[in-house]
Amino acid sequence: MALNRREFLKIMGGTGAAIAFPSVMIQGCKRALERAAERTNIIWLEGQSCSGCSVSLLNKISPDIVSVITEHISLNYQGVVMGGTGEAATRVLEDAVKKQRKDFILIVEGAIPTKNDLYCTIGEDEKTHRGIGVRHWVEELGKNAMAIVSVGTCSAYGGIPAAKNRLTGENPTGAVAVSQLFKGKTVLNIPGCPPHPDWMVGTLLHVLLKGVPELDEYNRPKMYYGKTVHEQCERLYYYKRGIFAKEWGDKGCLYNLGCLGMDSGCDIPTRKWNSVNSCTDCGSGCIGCTEKAFPEYGKRGIYQNLMASGDYKEKVVIAGIKRGEV
């Protein structure tokens, strides 16, 4: 279903409200998006990923995210949704590199393998007919991009692809975060496994409207990652009263069952998934997927039972938080 201009602006107005933009900015969003629609080019590359970030984004705007992206924001390249294949698709990347284009935002999903250029190939060299690894494209396109955005924890920190083999201690593919390819250049990180679609859309809108948003020490937008899950948790009531769940499904704070909300920054408890539920509210606990330590968290891992010997005071000291603190 194609969208006309009025329908598009209506949807984007709703999106502006949904992503917690100040109301004064919503009209600005509409005007700026209308002006920028023909000149805001996006090249979206995938490295070592499961495409979950793409799926999360596509699940956000309904109906017909494809119409919004292809008709109103020029999505030059995106492996999941684009119609072009083979040489027709890779020619977009080749032209962007050869012409040293600077009129696009580079979005990268997935970690970047560095041990072999044949990992995650996109297209092939015309002379040698060897595949061209995603690292080459990211480095070449990133040189001139107006902004570089890493979506998902794999792209932001290395994530699951960069996790060490527990038997050998090796990172088999040499997977690294996108930022490690661009020393001295700001790469915006939108971690999460997957990131909430609001974080991706909202960050992109902020870059288009006002430039780079205020970032934390990990280059994450503070407007989404500025508070911990714990601070905003629906179960904070139980924590303050020392009520801890002993089994999955129990009422109470989930810390003793392995919840990592105290260590993880994001606004999922208040933003919700699909405007309905959150990881902690549904009883699964936070797995810390927005943090650099994910998924290993040292020897602790995720969903380890953190029950310590002793009483409640001893347990919260382990978390580095004094009783009653938020």
Contact, 272 vs 319, CB < 8 A? no
232 & 202 share domain: no
Query: CATH no. for residue 259?
Result: 4.10.480.10
Boundary residue ending a domain (225, 243, 271): 225
Per the domain annotation, does 326 fall within a domain? no
Tell me how many domains the chain contains: 2
Task: Indicate if 69 and 181 belong to the same structural domain.
Answer: yes
Segments of the chain with pLDDT less than 70 = 1-39, 60-72, 298-326
Question: Do 220 and 239 sit in the same domain of this protein?
Answer: no
Indicate the residue among 209, 225, 241 that finishes a domain.
225
Q: What is the tens place of the pLDDT at every residue in 182-222?
A: 988 999 999 999 999 999 988 988 888 889 999 999 999 99
The parent domain of residue 236 ranges over 227-321
67 part of a folded domain: yes
Same domain, 238 and 264: yes
pLDDT of residue 251: 92
Alpha carbon distance 203, 164 (integer Å): 30
Looking at the fold, whether 155 and 236 belong to one and the same domain comes out as no
pLDDT for the residue 220: 98
Structural domain includes residue 198: yes
> Who's near 220: CB < 8 A, 6+ residues apart?
156, 188, 189, 190, 191, 265, 290
Amino acid at 68: V
Residues 296 and 269 placed together within one structural domain of the fold: yes
Q: Are 279 and 287 in contact (CB under 8 A)?
A: yes
Rounded CA gap, 78 and 231, in Å?
36
Q: Which of 167, 193, 225 is the last residue of a domain?
A: 225
> Is 33 within the bounds of a domain?
yes
Q: Report the predicted TM-score, pTM, of the whole model to 2 decimal places.
A: 0.80
Q: Are residues 242 and 210 in the same domain?
A: no
Same domain? 89 vs 135: yes
Kindly state whether residues 126 and 253 are assigned to the same domain.
no
The pLDDT tens digits of the residues spanning 261-298 come to 998 999 999 999 988 899 999 998 999 999 999 987 76
**Domain assignment of residue 104, yes or no:** yes
User: Is-contact 297 260, C-beta < 8 A?
Assistant: yes
Phi, psi of 261 (to 5 degrees): -60, -25
Count CA atoms within 13 Å of residue 46 on its CB side: 14
Give strand pairing partners of 78. 44
Q: What is the CATH number of the domain that holds 84?
A: 3.40.50.700
Task: Give pLDDT, residue 140.
Answer: 95
Same domain? 85 vs 197: yes
Judge whether 166 lies within some domain.
Answer: yes
Residues making up the chain, counted from first to last: 326
Residue type, 228: T
Place of tokens 């938020």: 326
Shared domain for 179 and 198, answered yes or no, is yes
The predicted structure's pLDDT at residue 314:
38
Together in a domain, 13 and 158? yes
Q: Assess if residue 99 is contained within a domain.
A: yes
Q: Can you tell me which residue has the tokens 């960069």?
A: 162
- Does residue 235 sit within a domain? yes
312's enclosing H/E stretch is helix 312-318
The answer to whether 105 touches 145, Cβ cutoff 8 Å, is: yes
